Amino acid sequence: MKTTYRDATRAAIRDAMQRDDRVFLMGEDVGSYGGCYAVSLGLLEEFGPERIRDTPLSESGFVGAGIGAALGGMRPIVEIMTVNFSLLALDQIMNNAATLSHMSGGQFNVPLVIRMTTGAGRQLAAQHSHSLEGWYAHIPGLRILTPATIADARGMLWTALQNPDPVLIFEHGSLYNQAGDLPDDAGAVDIDTALIRREGADVSLITYGGTLGLVLEAAERLAEDGIDAEVLDLRTLRPLDDAAILATVAKTHRAVIVDEGWRSGSLSAEISARITEHAFYDLDAPVGRVCSAEVPVPYARHLEQAALPSVDRVVAAAREAVGTHG
């Protein structure tokens, strides 16, 4: 059936709430307003205010409440409006949700799912536009998911809710209007492995989330020049699927990592290091990286677009990796 990323995400929440009475959704404006991105539109009328709970503007407060609910046996889905605002709850996420299982010797688990919007490209300026999922991927005790497709938006949530430990799902804001086909029997999907989205032999383009579309477009443009690019969608940033990363590098012998985060200390740097550590002798060229400019994301559209990864920049990096320019 035809659907959108937004509607697939809503369908995933509805399905989880129908299947498990312990599941509830909480966050800013998720109820009567229908969600800041209209993801929860209609769910309040369907499930009532006990299970679709509007919260005050206090990320630390309602994330902490979600942790408590998870410890008490519930299966909360906490929605944070944007990744930038999640920093107000960083103490709760890092010092509590991520650590309680370890600090209690496995006696207490925190089966909490936190959803948040990430990424730029929508002229929402610096406080609403950054890609900080790489920061969270640095933290042991968390699982980090980045659904880039409608099928993953529909299928990752239920699997995440079965996890005994906290899971953070980063939904790129540019994807909500993305339309496509979803099988009528679509359901839970694997959250452990990366997926090859395009087979290729000349260079591996490694990416995730909101940049998958532009990377696939870049691969098609490279094909016009006779360069056969393979596209790997990481899907899960912690734990990284090292086997899939190393397998694609062993196949093509070249890699370009596309990451909307900043280059310094980025997820792309970690992936590059792992490739160098474990597949150095498979490489025929240095690992390339395409990241955002190291500035707060600008508001002006032409500056915002100049700061972000683009098809042109990915094509140029891939051409450099295979030794062709122009």
Per-residue pLDDT tens over the stretch 203-226: 999 999 999 999 999 999 999 999
Name the token pair of 236.
Answer: 């899960």
Give SS3 for 102. helix
Selecting from 3.20.20.70, 2.60.120.10, 3.40.50.970, 3.30.750.80, what CATH number does the domain 2-181 have?
3.40.50.970
Q: What is the rounded average pLDDT for all residues in the chain? A: 96
The catalytic site residues sit at 59, 128
Are 194 and 144 in contact, with CB atoms under 8 Å apart?
no
Selecting from 3.40.50.920, 3.40.250.10, 2.60.40.1250, 3.40.1180.10, what CATH number does the domain 195-322 have?
3.40.50.920
Q: Domain residue spans in the chain?
A: 2-181, 195-322
Give the pLDDT mean for 240-245: 98
Per-residue pLDDT tens over the stretch 8-45: 999 999 999 999 999 999 999 999 999 999 999 999 99
Residue 186: pLDDT band with limits 50, 70, 90: confident
pLDDT exceeding 70 applies to what percent of the chain? Answer: 99
Name the token pair of 218.
Answer: 């870049």
- The yes-or-no verdict on residue 326 having pLDDT over 50 is no
Tokens 């477009």 belong to: 217
- The yes-or-no verdict on residue 1 having pLDDT over 50 is yes
Q: Give the other-Cβ count within 10 Å of 299's Cβ.
A: 13
Give the pLDDT mean for 83-102: 97
Does 2-181 match 195-322 in CATH topology?
yes
pLDDT of 266: 96
Model confidence, pTM? 0.97
Q: Give the other-Cβ count within 10 Å of 53's Cβ.
A: 20
Handedness of CA 290, 280, 251, 172 (dihedral sign): negative
Are 271 and 256 in contact, with CB atoms under 8 Å apart?
no
Burial of 130 (0-12, 13-18, 19+ CB in 10 A): buried
pLDDT of 324: 61
Q: Give the other-Cβ count within 10 Å of 193's Cβ.
A: 12
